[in-house]
Structure 1
Amino acid sequence: MTETVPELPAEAVTAGFADLHHGDEPLLLPNAWDHASARALAAQGFRAIGTTSLGVAAAAGLPDGTSATRDETLRRALALGSESFLLSVDAEDGYSEGPEEVGEFARELAAVGAVGINLEDRLGSSALHAAKIAAVKSAAPGLFVNARTDTYWLGDGEGTTARLDTYRQAGADGVFVPGLTDPGDIAALVKRLDVPLNILYTPTGPTVPHLADLGVRRVSLGSLLYRRALGAALEAVAEIRAGRTPRGATPSYGEVDALSRRGDPTHSDGP
């Protein structure tokens, strides 16, 4: 007889995601681009999975960072929000300049099971970005808002602390500074903050253990896994073209098919 496990209230699930930012180790958040990649990562023991806006945009044949993937992002959240892992969604700038519209989109994400949202400022008006954050917290109070500033991603780092202070006052639960890799600057920023700092992992930057020692509470992989997967595909086809057998791990047809079937563990071993 199979025991029925009671479903946790949405508030408890969301609180569980926030708690992952305050554990003994930083939350290492891998970013998936489709159903199979998300479930494969969850099978590796990751309790929380993020989405990558680049991967979602590329799969749809749309440019990243241009607010063009609102519908695709919501569809991805609908597919993944009911899975066993906790889902955080990269929503670019909220897909609108209107805070109320951004708040409504966040409400839709929460309704399909997402527990976190990333919102980026693209070095635009910090007041407008703060208004979007406040609108999200009003429309979906339980959603963990990770407020991203692009001061290092698109600029030279100037104005970082002022922007983060503004976003925190607007209700951000955590802050994200992609492009920041200097250990001294990271440690100094951690000391000023009263919310978790999220850093984007880069192979040329500090390791995850080093980031943990610096006080970072969340480490995202962004589009790295998607780009590595694409690179592996190109390496494999080059090996095949040259008459060699491609190396590296290759999941079977059946394994990938099973990962792609929502609620259906059966699969075939077809082509």
Structure 2
Amino acid sequence: MNAGSDALTVTHLVKEYRAHRTVFRAVDDVSFRIPRGATFGLVGESGSGKSTIARCALNLIQPTSGTSLVDGADPARVRGRALRQLRARTGFVFQNPKAALNPRLRIRDSVAEPLRTHTALKPAEIDKRVAALLDEVGLSSSHADRLPHQLSGGQAQRAGVARAIATEPELIVLDEPTSALDVSVQAQVLNLLQRLKQERGLSYLLISHDLDVVRYMSDEAGVMRRGQMVESGPADVVLRTPSHEYTRQLLAAMPATPGAVEIVPGGDERSILL
């Protein structure tokens, strides 16, 4: 951890795709920062560039131009052991929890995989760590020996969260983490993520098309349209009193549905009405 640095700093990020003589700019000069322990929500329609930004920021795909710093380090410029250490300080929670887990691995092995890759823990220590992680996300020992298809969607996403936090990362990308789940299960998973953020001091880059989820989870928010960030600022301000016409259109198009959530003292996760 680099004292004084943000969890993530993205500066003038551009990502272009070329096909024959045409150029498609998927991300167009995007900048933002995520202080330690904060959540930045990227909201916008499908194809607006949200997931591309996350992958460029972590150098999972190479940006055309611009820079990103993860915990003060540029993932495009580090190699070898330093890159492996940087990867261990980041995690991903994906949209489809069952597809994100190896269908042939039991849950205990999926959660253990990053520990085997990024740590020098002995097998017995890994087993102990996996049991603690599953307990932390609300899964029992009986879930550890199941395959992903034997879990419900919510259980599979909890396993995905356990895997994401296994190496004690600083930054986690939440890529539509609840969009494939039922509303009541969404609330439970969001509460779990908020609790882990508070207890572990996690920083989140949240990607979502759901304005309620972004408003609930985020400290700051950026609104994406056709690769550009058209508006950003405190999430409550951006999503309640937007200044950009496109954000107002998104809010006007959003159906009025229940599903907002709260943090319950003691770590229980439950849903309440908006």
TM-score, normalising length: structure 1: 0.35
Q: Which has the higher contact order (CA 8 A, sep 6+)?
A: 2
TM-score, normalising length: structure 2: 0.35
Greater strand fraction, Structure 1 or Structure 2: 2
Greater helix fraction, Structure 1 or Structure 2: 1
